[in-house]
Amino acid sequence: MKVSVIGTGYVGLVTAACLADMGNAVAAVDLSQEKVANLRAGRIPIHEPGLQPLVERNLRAGRLRFTDSHAEGIADAEVIFIAVGTPSQEDGSADLRHVLDVAGTIGRLLTRAAVIVDKSTVPVGTADQVRRTVQQALDARGVQIGFDVVSNPEFLKEGAAVADFQRPDRIIVGTDSPRAIEVMKELYGPFSRSQDKFIVMDTRSAELSKYAANAMLATRISFMNEIAAVAEATGADIESVRRGIGADPRIGPLFLYAGAGFGGSCFPKDLRALLHLGHEASVPLELLQSVVNVNERQKTLLFRRIDAFFKGQLKDRRVAVWGLAFKPETDDVREAPSLSLIVDLVRAGARVTAYDPQATETAQGALQLLLSPQEMQRVQMHPSARAAAEGADVLALMTEWKEFRSPDFAWLAATLGSRAVFDGRNQYRPEALAAHGLAYFGIGRPAPAGRPPAVA
């Protein structure tokens, strides 16, 4: 099948590469000539396991090509994916300018009947806007070309996006067109051979499904962070609580990990968009507002604990930070809790030495937008975890990369001046650190012997 994917960001690039790998002829469109040149050379702009070889393989086979021309990308396409960004506006709503600009461009260039697929995460009613925009452009040309608009939300986890696309747990297709349903079934058939994973619904329900899924997952995280605060106040251990409730099949074990808060490109943005949608529809979403509030408070928790540990005397203290990405297996630092911690530490007078296996460069760029050049002098990125921790006063773990799971605690005890570890992801066993004379501060874990309870 001839497919066009407009937008080569995270979703668009994964979509294009995975569809090409199934034998489709895929043209991926991006207006940045520099980005297109890099992609043609097999250089991808993001870290995503499995994506690099997938792009390289399909480039060599001729199934995947990149272009900065909409006309070239759309020509003869049977299916056209819209996979451009929908960033938050000041009021929290999703900015649809890029989506609707692409829709207008499709209408101006369309030469044959096609299925137009909204792959971007968009508010309820966007498919109707896309349909009107395409039709207006066709009317302005004075031509009649049949087309359908489908809502096909993505459910890709950063760090596992290729696997999620190739082995989806569901494929939601929002449309009332029998023809569009058949086209989408043919396109996604190779990814749904073992069982029928198609869920067909109207476009508005499909659009809301994406927001509802992310809101539910974010709610579980904030819920566990609130229960973690109760655990600390009462002497319970949130890790035991997690295992206890996760064994209930009605609840399940996923997304029940207390920690330093969630970040990334999806949960925060989609929660803001859903809250704005509720406001516009005169439906107060009080639970989701609380989820946001809990998360914003949680992202400051480790700073408050480190500040309390040093009794408010952070000036020239050195804090090592392990992990900058908002989650493992990605270089994405958008709204990452690590950035909040570093900014607060620097502004309190501390120095930060940081390391991440993949996100050092993206974090450096993000921090330069948050801190002044003078403040940035108090932040140093290091090439290894050991280099970042050596000679620091304390260590803060912010991302649960595998290489951080079993550090040399004896070496940490010898190198950390204040012999304390602040575990923002509950990766370590308190007793393992205590055996080496390290004070341990987790999230919802018992306070170390001889130390005051952690600051809530």
- Which residues participate in catalysis according to the annotation? 266
φ/ψ region of 7 (left if φ > 0, alpha if ψ in -120 to 50, else beta) reads left
Contacts of residue 369, Cβ cutoff 8 Å, sequence gap at least 6: none
Find the largest Cα–Cα distance for the chain: 80
Edge to edge, the sheet with strand 379-381 lists: 379-381, 351-355, 318-322, 394-397, 420-423, 439-441
CB atoms within 10 A of CB 197: 15
Contacts of residue 330, Cβ cutoff 8 Å, sequence gap at least 6: 46, 47, 48, 158, 159, 358, 359
Q: Are 336 and 413 in contact (CB under 8 A)?
A: no
Task: List the one residue out of 412, 404, 415, 441 whose CA is nearest residue 310.
Answer: 441
Q: Are 105 and 70 in contact (CB under 8 A)?
A: yes
Q: Which residue type occupies 207?
A: E
Tokens of 252: 């399940």
Contacts of residue 236, Cβ cutoff 8 Å, sequence gap at least 6: 230, 444
Contacts of residue 420, Cβ cutoff 8 Å, sequence gap at least 6: 309, 393, 394, 395, 438, 439, 440, 441
Tokens of 402: 């595998």
Q: Are 113 and 107 in contact (CB under 8 A)?
A: no
